[in-house]
Every structure is written in structure tokens, then in C-alpha cells.
Amino acid sequence: MLQIDSITKTYQGTHAVRDASFRVARGELVCLLGPSGCGKSTLLRIISGLTACDSGTVSIEGVDMTSSPANRRPTAMVFQSHALWSHMNVAQNVGFGLRVRGLPKAEIAAKTAAVLDLVGLSAFAKRLPAELSGGQAQRVALARCLVVEPKVLLMDEPFSALDAHLRKGLREELKALQGRLDLTTIFVTHDQEEAMELADRIVVMQGGQVEQVGPPGALYQNPSTLGVAQFIGAMNTCTSSLRHGAVDWYGVTLRMPLPDGEVALLCRPEDLSIDPNGAAARVARVIDLGPVTKVNLITETGDLLTWTCPRDQAPDLGRVMTLLPRRLHAFRGGALMGLMDVPLPAQAQGATA
């Protein structure tokens, strides 16, 4: 449905977007995820035609749209601040795009009513934007986009100004609606939980570049860069030197069949387990999160380790535990070198480091 090829955009010589490429299939919901300033909005505006790119192409259904103005593209955009017209009521706001297109009055009324029904706001048609809650206003903004039947719906952090509870509810509503309408959607967010819940696939951006594209689970399990590993989910990061197939991990020597040199060893909090050959660490804080318990520990090397465990296994404060990673991601120069399941301590195999 949508193809983005080598899009680049600079502002005063600095890259806002650099050589970004990805594709979106019909009916797919793709999230652009990354920290603030990484180029998400710029890329979305380039797709919509609101911003021109320096190079690269945007194609929709195989048609090159790179030089088409925004109003010629089959896209519609929902912004973070809903930008409704304050003097128009809800129905007038929603019908605006159809009036601009010169549709007959009866058709505008019918389409507006149908879309308001879709977003659950039929009873609010006569209200002014000032009489709506934040969540309702964003639903109107969405309805205003849906009514023009875009081929691609673009959403730029549409829920980030709303409170967490409302955000979750709207997220679920959007996902259901998007699936029902089979609507190709690009959703921009800096919130990885939001992206994980919504997306069929996530495009992770950093510093204007696409770092990795994949389904949420795949990005979490197999991050291909250090940036993605540290941005999606929590990671314990230990930087160490690898020599002759062995590496120090918080005072424990682990066997690691990789070339010599500096490595960043990353382990998810849930991938640590208690093992007599593990690294010793003292429990500094126990945080009951409800479904799981998060435990902060200080290793003998003075580093912070985070472990998550079932509630009934939560240790007492001050206890010294020995922990081993069951899964380690090794990175060098930001790139993945290897993924080790159950890396063994050298002494457990009788090897010497």
C-alpha cells in the first residue's frame, strides 16, 4: 500500500530524517517509535505531503506521490493537539472535508452521521469543541479523517496529551476500529508500550534513521542494535572486555565464543535466574508492581542490577543473591554480535579464563 524509499530531510545542514525506507501493507498498523527529536513527525509529514523531502520517494499503491501536494494524496492526519475549529460544532468539524470537496448536503450529513456513530459520538453532533473532553475531541479529530475515506491514516502522537487511563481505552478503540475498517495506518509514538500494544509492526527510529523494523515481539526478543535493545523494554547493561572466549560479567567469568574486544552485554530483568555460580548482589530495593516484583540489587562490582520475579519469590531487603543471565545479547559498536542462551560460567565447566 505504502512504500517509503531512502527518504532524507535536512534542516540547516542537520539530518532530521536520513535514508529511511520501509513498506506498509494494506490494512496494516505500523508504529513509528523512537525518542523525541528522532524524526518521526518529519517523516510522517513527508508521507502526508505537508513537508517536502530532499531526496527519496513516497509511493502509495505503486503511484509515486513524492511531488504531489498534500491535498492530492489519499492520506489524512490526526495530530497530537486535535486542532478542531472552535466555532464549528462536532458534525460541522467532521463534515468539513466533504464540504471542501463539494459533496451534496444530504451525502455529507449521511457520511458524517455514519462516522460519528463509528467513533461513538452520535449524541455529541451539536456540541462545540470547548464542550468536549480531551478524549472526545481526539475521537472527533479521528472521525474528521475517517469521513474522507483515506487510503492511509496518519496519526502523530494522537493520545499523548491525554491521561494514561484514557490513552489505554482509546488505544483499544482505535485498534478495533482500524481492524474493522481494514485501514492502513501509520501511528507515531515515543511510548514503547503504546507501540507494542497497537502495532502489527514497529519501525524503530533513532537520530533520523530507521534502526529496525519488525513485529513487537521480534524486536523485544531479538533487537538488532544496541539502541533498539535499550529503547524497547528494560535491559541490564554491562560493558566488559572479551579475551580468549571469556568475559567478566559483574565479577563472574562467562564463556563467550566471540572475537576479542569491548562488548556491551545486555540481559533483560526477567532473564536473570538464581544460580550458585552467579554474580553476587545485595538486594537494595523491592518494588511490588502487582503482577511481578521488581528487585534492584547492587553487585560486588558496585553496579545496579534489575531482576523481575514472581511476587512469591521476592527476596528480603539486604539479602545477598547470586544471579546468572539465562540470555545475553552481546553488542559491539552498537551492532549485535551474538545472542547467548544460558551462557555458562567458566568455573562450571572447569575452564580457566
Residues making contact with ligand ADP (CB under 6 A): 11, 16, 34, 36-42
Task: Candidates 35-43, 119-127, 146-154, 168-176: pick the segment binding Mg ion (CB under 5 A).
Answer: 35-43
CB 188 to ligand ADP: min, Å = 7
Interface residues for Mg ion in 249-278 (CB under 5 A)?
none
For Mg ion, which residue of 16, 32, 38, 41 counts as binding (CB under 5 A)?
A: 41
CB 39 to ligand ADP: min, Å = 4
CB 12 to ligand ADP: min, Å = 7
Q: Give the residues across from 295 on adjacent strands.
A: 286, 307
Say which DSSP state 345 is in.
B
C-alpha cell at 218: 521480534
SS3 breakdown of the chain: % helix, strand, coil, rounded to 5? Answer: 30, 40, 35
Tell me whether strands 184-189 and 29-33 are parallel, antiparallel or unpaired.
parallel
Closest C-alpha among 50, 147, 30 to residue 98: 147
CB nearer to ligand ADP: give 132 or 204.
204
C-alpha to C-alpha distance for 97 and 143, rounded to whole angstroms:
11
Cα dihedral value 69, 75, 81, 84, nearest 10 = 90
38 binds, among ligand ADP, Mg ion, none (CB under 5 to 8 A by kind): ligand ADP
| 265 within 8 A of 246, measured Cβ to Cβ | no
3-state SS assignment for residue 313: helix
CB nearer to ligand ADP: give 161 or 284.
161
CB nearer to Mg ion: give 207 or 334.
207
CB nearer to ligand ADP: give 138 or 253.
138
Closest C-alpha among 230, 229, 190 to residue 35: 190
CB nearer to ligand ADP: give 12 or 86.
12
Q: Residues with Cβ < 8 Å from 132, sequence gap 6 or more?
A: 90, 124, 140
Confirm or reject binding of residue 206 to Mg ion (CB under 5 A): no
86 binds, among Mg ion, ligand ADP, none (CB under 5 to 8 A by kind): none
CB 219 to ligand ADP: min, Å = 18
CB nearer to ligand ADP: give 39 or 214.
39
Contacting residues toward Mg ion, per CB under 5 A: 41
